[in-house]
Amino acid sequence: MKAVSIKILKDELKHKSANELLELSLKLARFKKENKELLTYLLFESHDEDRYIATIKSEMDVMFEEINRKSFFYIRKSVRKILTSIKKHIRYSKKKTTEVELLLYFCLKLKEFRPSINKSPRIQNVLVTQIRLIEKTMKTLHEDLQYDYNLELDEIKK
C-alpha cells in the first residue's frame, strides 16, 4: 500500500465528524510510540515550553549518568542514542529556541563528560557538528536571543 499525500489526507479529514477524528487519533496513538509521544506533547506540554525543556534536560541528565564508561565505543553509542532522543523532542516542538536550548545543553553535558571526549575524535566530531547546527539555527532567532545563546556557546567552545 502506498501512502497518499498530506493534501489528500487533509481533504479527506475535512469530511470526518468529531467522533471519527477522535477514533482516528486514538488509533494512531496506539499504532506507534512516537505518535503517542507527539500527541502527549501537543495535548499536555506544548502550552508550557519551559517546563517541557526542563523535563527533557532532566531526562538527558539521567541518560548521561547511565552511560557505560568502559570504552569509547559504548560512550559513542550512548551519545548517539541521547542525540537521537533530543532530535525527536525537537521535532515535536518545532521551535527554534527549544532546539538551540536543548542542543546547547547537550553540548555542555558532552563537554563536561568524564572521561574526556578529547581522547575520541569521533565523539569530538559529534560535538563540532552540533555546534555548527546551533550556530546555523541561532541565525534565525531574534538578536537578543542570539546574544544570550552566543554567550553560552562561547563557554562550550572554550
pLDDT per residue as tens digits for the range 25-66 = 888 888 888 989 998 998 999 999 999 999 999 999 999 999
**Whole-structure pTM value:** 0.87
Q: What is the mean pLDDT of the chain?
A: 92
CA-based nearest residue to 114, from 63, 157, 65, 60 = 65
Q: Residue 114 in contact with residue 64, Cβ under 8 Å?
A: no
29 Cβ partners below 8 Å, 6+ apart?
35, 36, 39
